């Protein structure tokens, strides 16, 4: 085996430029795969993380008849005594935060300009609302006893030309189907870096939201954050006996989950194309090597070297190219992900509905993707060398010796 690799190494060194560019083709292909996998992982992972933190949580507990699409405010569609239910859920050791929320729809207006908005009634002091609190870019955050303040997203504030301290009129649907209007002060303007969420969501303290919608002591949902996503199913199963509907983050973000599966399917096709191009380079390199060494192959056969050992020499060459190419490819991949993440890739508002896509895409490099792609690239390179190796092993010694130098 050592002799075979020694001969293979010497053969690669005969044409160093060609060997280098062959290994470079492998490395560039692998680096491209690592970068693309990291970008998809970063975008999909970021979309799911944002959706969980901003909107869905890991779990939501609702009344069985509640319809999220209608944002119903009828008492029979809401969770009664939400504080009591929240206390029971918060007692689980796996729960990081549990808080009631009230959802309503309405219009925000200033002067002759108006825009539709989804209203979140929240408990401002809850740890679950940290992303909104940390996202305040001007003005102040809400307090639980604030009865005249509202928190507005930056895109919505820009649309209505609002600044912290301005007065706005908010029209809201109520539990009995009426519409009430009240003047509020813009306490602050926030940005979570997610246009789809910030452009249509405003916040009120839960007590004020309940009062204006006439839903006192009721909530649309109990929003639950867990210490780890792995606890989702176990906590959901433990809550099934409450008589309420339990929804997990997968149920609440089915569009993102389906989109992720579709994206990975398309990426698999992209991987195959890149690997096929890489394999063609290796096949071409080794076939050229076979033709250049025809007389050498004939001499080796004439002195008694078996065909399988000749095949082993060319497979050893492809393995050496694979090792060098994969090693360089991992380094190039790491460098490309690092350079990509310096500023990310700004996409702004993509106009996607049902998905919370961040304004800027960042790559997320994982050990699993890196190792699996490196292994696949190595295997494909070895398989690419199989045809030239078989071709060399089946040469007739007499015909090979007659070949021109």
Domain residue ranges in the chain: 2-52+256-402, 64-243
User: Among residues of the chain, what percentage have pLDDT more than 70?
Assistant: 94
CA-wise closest residue to 168 among 107, 208, 108:
108
Higher pLDDT, residue 347 or 57: 57
- 193: alpha, beta or left? (left if phi > 0; alpha if psi -120 to 50): left
- 96 in helix, strand or coil? strand
User: pLDDT by residue (tens digit) across 219-273?
Assistant: 999 999 999 999 999 999 988 766 789 999 988 887 777 777 777 778 888 888 8
Give the least confident one: 191-195, 358-362, 364-368, 399-403: 399-403
Is the pLDDT at 392 greater than 70, yes or no?
yes
User: pLDDT by residue (tens digit) across 75-134?
Assistant: 889 999 999 999 999 999 999 999 999 999 999 999 889 999 999 999 999 999 999 999
CB within 8 Å of 255: residues ≥ 6 apart: 354, 355
Q: What is the pLDDT of residue 170?
A: 94
Is the pLDDT at 386 greater than 90, yes or no?
no
Give the least confident one: 120-129, 168-177, 201-210: 168-177
**Per-residue confidence band for 1, with pLDDT thresholds at 50, 70 and 90:** low
Determine how many CB atoms are found less than 10 A away from the CB of residue 274: 18
Is residue 327 within 8 A of residue 378, CB to CB? The reply is no
Mean pLDDT of 34-43: 89
- 337: alpha, beta or left? (left if phi > 0; alpha if psi -120 to 50): alpha
Determine how many CB atoms are found less than 10 A away from the CB of residue 108: 26
d(CA 333, CA 337): 6
d(CA 375, CA 382): 11
Q: What is the pLDDT of residue 400?
A: 52
Alpha helices per DSSP H over 58-205: 82-90, 130-134, 154-160, 195-198
Higher pLDDT, residue 22 or 166: 166
**Per-residue confidence band for 405, with pLDDT thresholds at 50, 70 and 90:** very low
Is residue 100 within 8 A of residue 206, CB to CB? The reply is yes
Q: What is the pLDDT of residue 193?
A: 86
Backbone angles phi, psi at 262, to 5 degrees: -65, -45
Overall size of the chain counted in residues: 405
Mean pLDDT of 159-168: 94
Q: What is the pLDDT of residue 348?
A: 67
CA-wise closest residue to 249 among 263, 261, 232:
232
């Amino acid at each position: 085996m050592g002799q075979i690799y020694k001969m293979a190494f010497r053969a690669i060194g005969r044409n160093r430029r060609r060997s280098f560019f062959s290994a470079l083709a492998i490395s560039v292909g692998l680096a491209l795969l690592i970068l693309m996998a990291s970008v998809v992982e970063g975008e999909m992972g970021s979309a799911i993380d944002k959706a969980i933190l901003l909107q869905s949580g890991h779990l939501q507990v609702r009344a069985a008849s509640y319809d999220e699409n209608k944002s119903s405010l009828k008492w029979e569609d809401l969770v009664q005594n939400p504080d009591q239910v929240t206390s029971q859920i918060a007692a689980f050791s796996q729960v990081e935060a549990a808080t009631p929320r009230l959802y309503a729809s309405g219009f925000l207006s200033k002067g002759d300009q108006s825009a539709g908005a989804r209203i979140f009634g929240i408990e401002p002091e809850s740890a679950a609302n940290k992303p909104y609190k940390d996202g305040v870019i001007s003005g102040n955050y809400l307090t639980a006893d604030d009865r005249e303040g509202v928190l507005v997203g930056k895109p919505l504030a820009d649309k209505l030309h609002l600044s912290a301290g301005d007065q706005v009129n908010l029209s809201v649907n109520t539990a009995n189907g009426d519409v009430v209007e009240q003047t509020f002060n813009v306490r602050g303007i926030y940005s979570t870096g997610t246009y789809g969420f910030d452009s249509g969501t405003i916040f009120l303290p839960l007590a004020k939201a309940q009062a204006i919608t006439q839903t006192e002591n009721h909530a649309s949902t109990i929003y639950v954050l867990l210490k780890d996503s792995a606890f989702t199913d176990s906590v959901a199963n433990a809550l099934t006996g409450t008589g309420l509907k339990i929804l997990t983050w997968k149920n609440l973000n089915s569009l993102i989950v389906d989109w992720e599966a579709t994206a990975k399917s398309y990426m698999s096709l992209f991987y195959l194309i890149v690997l096929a191009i890489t394999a063609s380079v290796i096949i071409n390199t080794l076939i050229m090597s076979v033709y250049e060494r025809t007389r050498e192959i004939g001499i080796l056969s004439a002195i008694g070297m078996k065909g399988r050992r000749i095949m082993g020499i060319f497979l050893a060459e492809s393995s050496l190219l694979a090792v060098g190419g994969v090693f360089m490819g991992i380094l190039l991949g790491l460098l490309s992900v690092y350079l990509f993440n310096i500023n990310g890739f700004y996409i702004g508002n993509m106009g996607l509905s049902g998905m919370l896509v961040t304004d800027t895409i960042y790559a997320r490099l994982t050990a699993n993707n890196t190792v699996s792609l490196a292994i696949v690239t190595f295997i494909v390179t070895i398989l690419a060398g199989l045809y030239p190796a078989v071709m060399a092993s089946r040469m007739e010694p007499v015909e090979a010796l007659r070949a021109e130098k």
